[in-house]
């Protein structure tokens, strides 16, 4: 669909590794907070929804910038479903927060 910015392959690898390390560290930190009771189930759902939106955005970028014939169809589908996916995931997060506020603390 479109050309990605020209970045050296070593820099791409470094960016990917750094992003993976940060994502794993954040997941471990959130899990630790959840197990310690610092983070409630309500807010864990919000963070999971935000992570799902970020993962889908990355997936859409990879598909849309694939340099092969026919990638425009997959990229178009990914972009087409990005809006409903984001709206649906955001609704799940908002409903989770609203229900969490109504529930008395345990």
CB-count exposure of residue 92 (10 Å: 0-12, 13-18, 19+): middle
Q: Is 55 among the domain residues? A: yes
Which pLDDT score is estimated for 70?
A: 78
Q: Is 3 among the domain residues? A: no
Mean pLDDT over 5-15 rounds to 88
Q: Which domain holds residue 91?
A: 9-102
Tokens found for residue 55:
């993962």
Q: Is 80 among the domain residues? A: yes
Which pLDDT score is estimated for 8?
A: 87
Q: Is 98 among the domain residues? A: yes
> Measuring CA to CA, which residue among 75, 72, 80, 48 is closest to residue 59?
75
Average predicted confidence (pLDDT) for the chain: 87
Domains held by the chain: number: 1
Model confidence over 25-67: pLDDT tens digits?
999 999 999 999 888 888 888 999 999 999 999 899 888 888 8
Percentage of residues of the chain with pLDDT beyond 70 = 94
Q: How confident is the model at residue 21 (pLDDT cuts 50, 70, 90)?
A: very high
Q: What is the pTM of this model?
A: 0.77
Q: Is 4 among the domain residues? A: no
């Amino acid at each position: 669909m479109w050309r990605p910015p020209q970045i050296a392959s070593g820099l791409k690898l470094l960016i990917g590794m750094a992003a993976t390390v940060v994502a794993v560290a954040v997941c471990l930190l959130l899990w630790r907070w959840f197990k310690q009771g610092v983070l409630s189930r309500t807010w864990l759902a919000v963070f999971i929804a935000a992570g799902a939106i970020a993962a889908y955005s990355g997936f859409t970028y990879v598909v849309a910038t694939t340099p092969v014939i026919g990638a425009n169809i997959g990229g178009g589908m990914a972009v087409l479903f990005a809006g409903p996916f984001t709206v649906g995931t955001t609704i799940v997060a908002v409903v989770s927060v609203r229900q969490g506020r109504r529930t008395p603390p345990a």
